[in-house]
Structure formats: C-alpha cells, structure tokens
C-alpha cells in the first residue's frame, strides 16, 4: 500500500467513524426517547418489535420504524413546489450530519509512524464551522413550510425559523466566553486546554480545567439555547406533533422520517458540542499521553493506542450522558408558547450571554493583566 | 486537485448567479443566491481564508439570506412578482451601468496583473503567510484598522436604532 493510499484510507476512516457514530446515536435516541419517557411516566414503552422472539427492551423499534417509513406512501401535495418539497428534508438532515465533522472524538493517535488527529476535519476555526452548518439547517424547515403550499405549514416553518435564529444567536454568544478562556476557536486546542489543572495554587492537580468549571453561566445558557435549536419539547411549538400543526404536516414516509432524524442528529451535535466545550471533550481525568498520573502520586503506564482508545470511549460516554440529560429535561418541562420562547431567547439568553462575555473579559484582564 | 475543485465551484457559482437573475419565482431566486454565496465561501477556503469562508456562510447564508427568504415568504404572492414589471424603465439604465461595472473590474484586474495601480498586489497589506487565519484578521481589524472598524460598527448601530425608531412609530 502506497503512503497516499494509506492517507486516503485513514481520512476515510476518520469520516466514516464520525458518520457512523452520529447516525447510530441518532437512531438509538429514537428508542431512548420512547423508553425514557415511558419510565418517567410509569409506562412500559416500546417493547413489541421482536426478531425470533428476541425483544431486547424494544431495541429493534428504530429498525422497525425505518422499514415502516421506507415502505409508506410518499405523498406529494397537488400544489406543492415539487423540487423544493423534495429538497427540504435533505437540507435539514445534511446540515445537521456534517456539523459533527469538526468535533474531535480523541487526541492524536500515533501508529505506524503516523500522527492521526482523531477528528473528521481539522479546522482552525472549528467552532465557527459547526455553527455555520447548524445555521444552514434553517433553510430546510423554511423550504418545507413554503413548498408544502399549505398555510399551516408555512406558519410552522416561520415559527421554526424564528426559533432557530434566536437560539443560534444565543449559542454563538455563549460560545464566545469559552473561546476567550482557552484562547482559540480550534476545538482540539480548546479540549487540550481543558486538560490543565484548574487553579493549581488552590486545588493542586485535583480538578481539571473543564469548561463547566471556568464558564458555568455559559454552560447553562448554551444548553438552554441548544435545546431550543433542536426544536423538541419544551421548544417544540414549530411542530407540536400532538396538538398544533407544524412545517412537516404535508410530509409522509421517509421524508417525514428525515425531518425527525435531523432533530435527533441535532441533539447529538449539541451533545457533542457541550462535551467538547464544557466537559473536557475526550479528556479523561488524570490521563496524560503516557498513562494515568493520579494527583496522589500513583502512576499507571499505558501504551499510546490504549490511551487513544480510552479517550474515544470517554468522548462517546460523555456524549451519551449529555443526550440522556437533554432527554431528561425534555420529559420534565411543559411546552413553551411561541412568544415565551422568543422572549426567553432574545431578552433572556442573548443579553445574558453578552454579559457573560463582558464579565469573562474583565476577569481575564484582571487575572492575567492587560 | 485544487484547480478541479475551483472549476466545479466556479461553474456552479456562475450558474446559480444566472439562475438568480433569470428565475421568475422569488423564493427560487433567493435560494440560488444562497448557493452562490456558499460557492464564494468555498472559493475563500481554496485561497486559505478559512475564517472569511466561515464568516461568509454564517453571516450571509445563515443570517442575511434567512431574513430575505423570510420576507419573501411573508409577502407572497405580491403583485410585483406576477404582474408587469413596474420598474421597466430602469432596465434602460441597467445596460450602461452593467458595462461600467465590467469596465471597472477589467481595470482592477489589469492593475493587479501589472503589479501596481488600483487593487494591485503592492497596495495590499502584507500580513504574513496565513493571511486568512483568524489571528491575522483579528490583528488587522483591532490593530491597524481599528478606527475604520469602530466607525463601521457605529454606522451599523445607527442603522439599527433608526430601524427601531421607524418601526415603533408605525405601530402606534
């Protein structure tokens, strides 16, 4: 195998890992959502799908759902804009899927004389990339609402666009504080910065410098705005499956499924961003490049590939925990009304994020000197 | 490979720009403009200007065009789109103005080829190897061009306050 072929293979592997991870998590989330809501509401939940009598707590339901949606009638309204109607779900899903590419899932893997960054795309301004791709998702819902030739869908699409814009502004403003603390927009650099000890003169090496400790207000603001960006309960007034009519009212079959998938994939992306920016990304506490170095003096030497594997596992675990936490909030809160969510976004989250940026700047100048 | 990517993106950019002008449907036109802006972002990326490319997508495609599409959706189907063009007389102006723009672009290109003059390589600030990197952009904006930067931000703020005042007066 020539070096270029190997390089291509490695690049393909990096992209494929992220793609598979996001799609698997997104698919699993449909099951987690049903099962977790059932547990929280004292029901049994999805448990009927079985293969040869094997039920596995209803884990086959995502598969059954996919088959059902693929075989349903694909309905096209008579007065719909044919091209845009078909294009809209793709825009939604693709913009959500590619957003994860800049989020690192591990540090550098050293194998066979190569240094492989465990990240689908290495970008200097990685946060901005994720942000840019998420902001393109707005076009999907607006196109869907408009192309359906249905006034209810149009209104739903406009509600969705208004919500996503207000959420994205707040997300962007809350991320600024993190970028200021770690002095970079490169996700890899931000995560490396989170491996350093927090205030070593007070706590020694005990507490890692994770974003949740240095930027707690930004963490709360980001999580709230992130939930709004995924358009699910408590921010599900654009669609409101149970009572109100949303932007995908005319959609059926797999096109409808793709809109649902986009929401779940966005949840995974928000969880990945939360992990990378606030929970130390792939950092394992006390794990350095050559093994564990505990603050009480003990050390455990580990081979480099093993360290990389631990980091990837830690990243996956953290993303899963954040997804679980988002679902927990989802099934705890009632739905916001449109005007309430707008007021929360523009008059609550956004100004508070800007205040956080100003406060972070003041503290940084006072701490490090101008 | 860079040349191949450039050719593909350039063709898509020109095609979407033509479609933007030629399509009757305003929504289609606006969406073609989004495609065009995305292509320009890729061109920035090919030149190594990563920050500029992402800012282009976030601000133009992600924010300004969303407002455009939003406004068109609220106003459809207005008379302007379906009836005869009320600004037909302006088409006469379009041809000489278009020619003038082409002449300007030709002048700039000619100047940059010869190395001096308007837009020539010599008149561009030298900012090191990573000209499009976020550090150099930040250094230029908040260092060398701080005054222009602040004046622009005050201009935008004035426009914002002006719009707020106008909108408020109407609603009362």
pLDDT digits (tens, 9 = 90+) for A92-129: 999 999 999 999 998 888 877 788 888 888 888 889 99
Q: A100 or A295, which is more confident?
A: A100
Rg of chain B in Å (alpha carbons): 20
User: What pLDDT band is residue B115 in, cutting at 50, 70 and 90?
Assistant: low
Closest listed residue to residue A169, CA positions, set A356, A355, A357, A354: A354
B27, B51, B63: residue with CB nearest A146:
B27
Cα–Cα distance, A236 to A214 (Å, whole number): 31
DSSP strand pairing (A287-288 vs A108-111): unpaired
Task: Find the mean pLDDT for residues A256-274.
Answer: 93
pLDDT tens per residue, range A53-94:
778 888 888 888 889 999 998 889 988 889 999 999 999 999
pLDDT given at position B49: 84
Mean pLDDT rounded to a whole number for chain A:
89
For chain A, give the number of residues. 370
Q: Cβ atoms within 10 A of the Cβ of A335, count?
A: 17
Give B28's contacts in chain A (Cβ within 8 Å): 84
Mutate to test the interface with A, among B19, B62, B72, B139 (most CBs of A within 10 A): B62
Domain ranges of chain A: 3-368
Interface of A with B in 216-235 (CB under 8 A): none
Q: CB A142 to CB B57 under 8 A?
A: no
CA distance A28 to A24: 6
List CB contacts of B96: < 8 A, sequence separation 6 or more: none
Rounded to whole angstroms, the Cα distance separating A331 from A341 reads 17
Q: How many CA atoms lie within 13 A of A107 on its CB side?
A: 24
CB contact under 8 A, A128 and B54: yes
Per-residue confidence (pLDDT) for residue B154, from 0 to 100: 96
Chain centroid to Cα A6, Å, comes to 30
Q: How far apart are CA A166 and CA A163, in angstroms?
A: 5
Q: What is the ipTM of this complex?
A: 0.86
Q: How confident is the model at residue B132, as a pLDDT?
A: 60
Distances from the Cα of B57 to the Cα of A92, A133, A336, B131, angstroms: 16, 8, 30, 19
pLDDT, one tens digit per residue, over A197-214 is: 888 888 877 888 899 999
> Who among A81, A128, A136 is closest to B61 (CB)?
A136
Q: Which residues on neighbouring strands pair with residue A295, listed in sequence order?
A: none
Helices (H) and strands (E) in chain A, counts: 13, 5
Give A-chain residues touching B61 at CB under 8 angstroms: 132, 135-136
pLDDT reported for residue A255: 92
Q: Which pLDDT belongs to residue B123?
A: 45
CA angle A153, A155, A161 (to 5 degrees): 100
**pLDDT: is A46 or A171 the higher one?**
A171
- Give how far A274 is from chain B: nearest CA, Å: 20
pLDDT average, residue stretch A181-185 = 89
User: Taking the CB of residue A107, how many other CB atoms lie within 10 A of it?
Assistant: 24
């Amino acid at each position: 195998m020539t070096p270029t072929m190997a390089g291509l293979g490695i690049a393909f592997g990096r992209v494929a890992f992220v793609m598979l991870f996001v799609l698997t998590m997104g698919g699993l989330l449909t099951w987690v959502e049903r099962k977790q809501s059932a547990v929280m509401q004292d029901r049994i939940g999805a448990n009927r799908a079985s293969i040869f009598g094997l039920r596995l707590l209803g884990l086959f339901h995502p598969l059954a759902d996919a088959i059902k949606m693929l075989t349903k009638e694909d309905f096209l309204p008579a007065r719909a804009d044919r091209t845009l109607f078909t294009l809209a779900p793709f825009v939604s899903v693709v913009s959500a899927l590619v957003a994860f590419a800049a989020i690192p899932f591990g540090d550098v893997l050293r194998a066979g004389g190569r240094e492989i960054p465990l990240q689908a795309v290495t970008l200097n301004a990685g946060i901005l990339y994720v942000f840019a791709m998420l902001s393109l998702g707005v076009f999907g819902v607006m196109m869907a609402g408009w192309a359906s030739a249905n006034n209810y869908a149009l209104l739903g699409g406009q509600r969705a666009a208004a919500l996503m814009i207000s959420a994205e502004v707040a997300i962007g403003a809350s991320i600024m504080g993190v970028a200021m603390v770690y002095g970079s927009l490169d996700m890899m650099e931000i995560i490396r910065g989170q491996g350093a000890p927090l205030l070593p003169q007070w706590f020694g090496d005990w507490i890692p410098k994770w974003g949740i400790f240095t930027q707690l207000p930004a963490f709360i603001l980001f999580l709230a705005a992130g939930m709004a960006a995924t358009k699910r309960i408590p921010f599900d007034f654009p669609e409101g499956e149970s009572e109100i009519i949303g932007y995908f009212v005319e959609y059926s079959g797999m096109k409808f499924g793709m809109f649902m998938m986009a929401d779940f994939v966005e949840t995974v992306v928000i969880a990945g961003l939360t992990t990378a920016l606030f929970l130390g990304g792939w950092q394992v506490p006390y794990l350095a490049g050559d093994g564990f170095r505990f603050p009480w003096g003990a050390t455990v030497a580990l081979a480099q590939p093993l360290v990389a594997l631990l980091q990837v596992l830690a990243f996956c675990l953290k993303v899963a925990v954040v997804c679980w936490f988002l679902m927990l909030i989802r099934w705890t809160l009632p739905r916001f009304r449109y005007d309430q969510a707008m007021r929360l976004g523009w008059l609550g989250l956004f100004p508070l994020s800007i205040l956080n940026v100003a406060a972070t700047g003041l503290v940084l100048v006072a701490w490090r000197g101008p | 490979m860079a040349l191949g990517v450039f050719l593909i993106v350039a063709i898509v950019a020109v095609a979407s720009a033509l479609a933007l002008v030629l399509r009757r449907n305003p929504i289609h036109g606006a969406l073609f403009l989004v495609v065009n802006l995305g292509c320009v972002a890729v061109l920035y990326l090919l030149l190594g200007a990563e920050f500029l490319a992402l800012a282009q997508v976030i601000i133009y495609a992600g924010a300004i065009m969303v407002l455009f599409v939003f406004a068109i959706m609220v106003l459809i189907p207005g008379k302007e789109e379906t009836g005869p063009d009320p600004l037909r007389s302006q088409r006469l102006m379009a041809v000489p103005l278009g020619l003038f723009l082409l002449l300007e672009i030709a002048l700039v290109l000619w100047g940059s080829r010869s190395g001096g003059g308007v837009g020539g390589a010599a008149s561009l600030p030298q900012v090191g190897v990573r000209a499009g990197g976020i550090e150099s952009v930040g250094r230029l904006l908040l260092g060398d061009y701080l005054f222009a930067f602040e004046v622009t931000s005050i201009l935008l703020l004035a426009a914002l306050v002006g719009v707020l005042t106008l909108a408020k007066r109407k609603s009362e």
